[in-house]
Chains A and B, each alone.
Chain A
Amino acid sequence: METTRKLIRKHSLELLYKKLSASNKVYAPVTATDKQVEYKYNPPFSDVTFDHIRSTLSVKNLVFPKVENLFIFSNSKTESSITDVNLNLLPNVVLWGSHPCDNAAFDILRSIFCWDINDEFFSKRLEKVTVIGLACHTSDDYCFCTSTGNAPNSVKGSDILLSKLSGGDYIAEFITAKGSSILASSPELFENETEEKAVIAVVNTKFSHEQVTEKLQTAFEHPFWVENSLRCIGCGACTYVCPTCACFDIQDETKGKEGRRYRSWDSCGFGLFTLHTSGHNPRHVQSQRWRQRIMHKFSYMPDRNESLGCVGCGRCSSACPVDMNISEQLEALQNI
């Protein structure tokens, strides 16, 4: 399908931001410190960054919060009751300025959360999100989107994709009906496209993910895993910053006669993740947990979910305190 493309001037972009903020929660990236880019709800437009390479955390928090109530319960002498969370009260959210890698992750998350049954908590949240993506005009050594089938200007997952022009204005590409409805409601902010070309980051391909997937079929017992994960300290940083990691823990928290059941992020990097009640742990050392992380994303998911579990954002590598560089490892795996 041919998409509509329009020009939007920087000052009109500000008007659009303000207009959307009036009726939605707008979730946009701001530079918090020299090393940290955080998404915030409704920050002033002047604080919103258009030049970040990657935010510290991904935006999965929007559809898979780090802590989320599943239901509330209470007990009295005569009865127990359970109250569902009213998902209809969720606000409409405009995700502003997220990059194509992060936006491509929504489909991957859907393939996990709605694989067999529809996870309502996830899908109701996703329904409420409109994505105004921003094509990347800068990249760094950690980026490898092109090796995972994505691109710095991929429209996957965006309702509108903005691309920066060399003069500082933007091209807006309207991908979905949600995106087109924004054009329909504010036609005065957009102009016809000119000849000017968008500035798009160059991200060189580092490996072939098809080849990696094939190599992994027979790599389970390979010494690669121990050799390349000795330095892994077993924290959950890579998992929690990852836009597609979806594992969670479920806990009850009670106070007196009332309580709640909630889910919260969990990580296969932790020893506790697979610890059995008997005391046996099928992944008792870190190399087995590191192998699981790569296998899940590049072997099990292509097999079961028909998609890679990785978008090439490079966040896990940049967040890792011991430089477990995933693209370097995948490059090596391709050639084992």
Chain B
Amino acid sequence: MNNLISRAKELLESKTVNVVIGYEAGPTGLARPAFITDSAKADKLIYDERCVQNLAVYLTKAEVKNFGKMAIVARLPVMRSIMMLISEQQVIGDNLIILGISEDNSLLDIASISVMQGYIDKCDLGNPSKDREILAELNKMTPEEKFSWWQNQFSKCIKCYACRQACPMCYCIRCTVEVNQPQWIPVQANAHGNTEWHILRAMHLAGRCISCGECGRACPVGIPCHLLTMQLADQVWNYFHVHAGTSDKMNSVLSTYEPNDKESFII
């Protein structure tokens, strides 16, 4: 942590960056995002097991982009999100300093995007084990049981779109659900509208989700909606042998044809 603070101070004092995006402790003890622009305030940066939010979501936010050059505290999911954002041309890698954090909470020396790629390549890129276990249980269900399990979850949805807003990959300025001519997705938060929303969200993230679980963590009513995108991440791996966020030059799996694509899912 001291390494992180001194590195942040150094970057701000030398004006290498204008802001360091990291975590601070809030009044209730929760870790939350912090935007440090003054090196004198860098001491409030923390890094521990409470720091789980995927900070990459801020890289495409207008008021944060206004800062110009920035540094971001990044553990693996944040690094993978950054890779996706670069490959989708939402973020310019050169404008970003990565303050990488390893599995054991120590500061990594990530001098470039290719060094970051080297680090990512050495990591386990599947879904987190606790989610893998739940998915395995869900996959034992019949399609009918699974549908009713999800219907029960979706019935709680209030359409606050915290899942969308928390996701670094949901950066569209105008989301499909906000288009009403024609109205693709019903606005109302009922069984019909909620089911369509969650299926749409998951499909738009297939091959793009880096399994950070942020959507499920953000949900105020406790819908484990991250399991939907994680399930698709698994399927993308099975069919195309691709993990999202592993290179800054990825093609989108679902909109790219390769002659050797498996086509076993076409009935």
The interface of chain A, by Cβ under 8 A from chain B, is 32-33, 35-36, 38, 56-57, 66-67, 141-142, 226, 230-231, 233-237, 239-241, 249, 251, 253, 262, 264-265, 267, 270-272, 284-287, 319, 321-323, 325, 328
Given the complex, which residues of A lie within 8 Å of B27, measured CB to CB?
141, 325, 328
Chain A residue with minimal CB distance to B63?
Answer: A285
Give the residues in chain A near B166, CB-CB below 8 Å: 233, 235, 321
**A239–B189 CA distance with the chains assembled, in angstroms:** 14
In-complex Cβ contact of A264 among B28, B53, B189, B222 (8 A): B189
B160 within 8 Å of A by Cβ? yes
Residues of chain A with a CB closer than 8 A to B12's CB: none
Which residues from chain B contact A231 at a C-beta distance below 8 Å? 32-35, 58
Other-chain residue from A67, A240, A284, A287 in contact with B190 (beta carbon distance below 8 A): A67
B contacts with A, residue count (CB < 8 A)? 40
| Inter-subunit contact B160/A230 (CB<8 Å) | no
Q: Which of A142, A233, A325 interacts with B57 by CB under 8 Å?
A: A233
Chain A residue nearest to B177 (CB atoms) is: A272
Question: Among B88-96, B213-221, B237-245, which stretch is in contact with chain A?
Answer: B213-221
Please, how many angstroms separate the alpha-carbon atoms of A287 and B64 in the complex?
11
| Contact flag A251-B28 (CB < 8 Å), given A56-B220, A233-B57, A235-B162 | no
Q: Output the nearest chain B residue to A286 by Cβ-Cβ distance.
A: B63
Smallest CB gap from B189: residue in A: A66
B68 within 8 A of A: no
A287–B58 Cα distance when bound, in Å, is 14
Q: How many A-B residue pairs have CB under 8 A?
A: 111
- Interchain CB contact (< 8 A) of B33 among A235, A272, A322: A322
Nearest residue (CB) in B for A323 is: B32
- In the complex, 24 of the A-B residue pairs with CB atoms within 8 angstroms, ordered by the A residue number, are A36-B222, A56-B222, A57-B158, A66-B159, A66-B189, A67-B188, A230-B33, A230-B35, A230-B63, A230-B64, A236-B159, A237-B160, A237-B162, A239-B160, A241-B158, A249-B187, A251-B183, A264-B187, A321-B53, A322-B32, A322-B33, A322-B53, A323-B30, A328-B27
Q: A271 CA to B34 CA in the complex, in Å? A: 23
The answer to whether B218 and A240 touch across the interface, beta carbons within 8 angstroms, is: no
* Complexed CA–CA distance, A33 and B219 (Å): 14
- Could you list which residues of chain B lie within 8 angstroms of chain A, going by C-beta atoms? 26-28, 30, 32-35, 53, 57-58, 61-64, 156, 158-162, 164-166, 173-174, 178, 180, 183, 186-190, 193, 217-218, 220-222
State the CA gap A323–B180 with chains docked (Å).
32
Beyond A234-B165, A328-B26, list 6 extra A-B contacts (CB 8 Å).
Answer: A236-B158, A237-B218, A240-B160, A262-B188, A321-B220, A323-B32
Taking CB atoms, residues of chain A closer than 8 Å to B162 are: 233, 235-237, 321
| Known contacts A321-B166, A322-B32, A322-B53; A235 and B222 CB within 8 A of each other | no
Cβ–Cβ < 8 Å partners of A56 in chain B: 220-222
A-B residue pairs, 4 tightest by C-beta: A321-B218, A323-B32, A235-B162, A319-B220
Chain A's closest residue to B26 (CB) is A323
| B contact residues around A235 at 8 Å (CB) | 160-162, 164-166, 218
Pick from B58, B193, B221 the residue with the most CB of A within 10 Å. B221
A57 touches B221 (CB 8 A): yes
Q: Which of A33, A230, A287 contacts B222 (CB 8 A)?
A: A33
A226 to B35, CA, bound (A): 11
Select from chain B the residue with minimum beta-carbon distance to A254.
B183
Find A267's partner among B34, B35, B64, B160 (CB 8 Å cutoff).
Answer: B160
The chain B residue sitting closest to A236, CB to CB, is B160
Residue with the highest number of chain B CB atoms closer than 10 Å, among A67, A231, A249: A231
A270–B159 Cα gap in the complex (Å)? 12
